[in-house]
């Protein structure tokens, strides 16, 4: 009887997680965080999805089809997740500081992909940075760097962290 219950629980937990792209939870975790950032303001724009696809393709050296599959799996995983910890814990355990900082830079790319700094996006990058143990100073410097790279105008609100 115990074996039947154990198998049932194992089957349930496997069914809850989408098919993981190339069995790489790190890719899925980063992609899910990117998706969360672009979705948090309630509007997902084409330029945000395009930028996400570009970054995923470059970061993981993926084909167009592989990138689409990863983005689709990330959307499912993000919708099913209760909180951000599911993704950040995987990344924090596996990545060094420099690699975690690169993820925060990618998240700022998501924030600025549509040319608008939304306070919910800003807040979620702050929370993810904390969960990944990326120092506030690095988070703010990355925010400013990505803004400057993606915009010609100076935004005084960027230094108000």
Quick check: 106 and 35 in contact, CB under 8 A? Answer: no
Tally of domains within the chain? 1
Q: Give domain status of residue 66, yes or no.
A: yes
Domain that holds residue 104: 17-152
Q: How many residues does the chain have?
A: 161
Q: Give domain status of residue 158, yes or no.
A: no
Quick check: 84 and 132 in contact, CB under 8 A? Answer: no
Q: Give domain status of residue 12, yes or no.
A: no
Query: Where residue 131 sits, what CATH number does that domain have?
Result: 1.10.3680.10
Q: Give domain status of residue 140, yes or no.
A: yes
Burial bucket for residue 153 (CB in 10 Å: 0-12, 13-18, 19+):
exposed
Output the tens digit of pLDDT for each of the chain's 161 residues.
545 555 544 554 444 444 443 348 999 999 999 999 999 999 999 999 999 999 999 999 999 999 999 999 999 999 999 899 999 999 999 999 999 999 999 999 999 998 888 999 999 999 999 999 999 999 999 999 999 988 755 554 555 45
CA–CA dist 91, 85 (Å, integer): 10
């Amino acid at each position: 009887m115990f074996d039947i219950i154990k198998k049932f629980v194992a089957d349930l937990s496997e069914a809850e997680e989408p098919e993981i792209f190339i069995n790489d939870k790190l890719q899925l975790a980063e992609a899910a965080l990117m998706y969360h950032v672009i979705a948090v303001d309630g509007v997902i724009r084409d330029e945000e999805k395009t930028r996400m696809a570009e970054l995923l393709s470059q970061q993981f050296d993926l084909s167009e089809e592989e990138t689409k599959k990863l983005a689709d799996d990330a959307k499912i995983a993000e919708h099913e997740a209760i909180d951000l910890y599911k993704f950040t814990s995987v990344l924090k355990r596996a990545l060094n500081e420099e690699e975690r900082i690169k993820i925060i830079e990618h998240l700022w790319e998501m924030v600025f992909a549509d040319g608008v700094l939304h306070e919910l996006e800003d807040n979620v990058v702050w929370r993810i940075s904390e969960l990944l143990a990326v120092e506030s100073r690095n988070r703010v410097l990355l925010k400013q760097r990505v803004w400057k790279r993606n915009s010609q105008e100076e935004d005084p609100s960027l230094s108000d962290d």
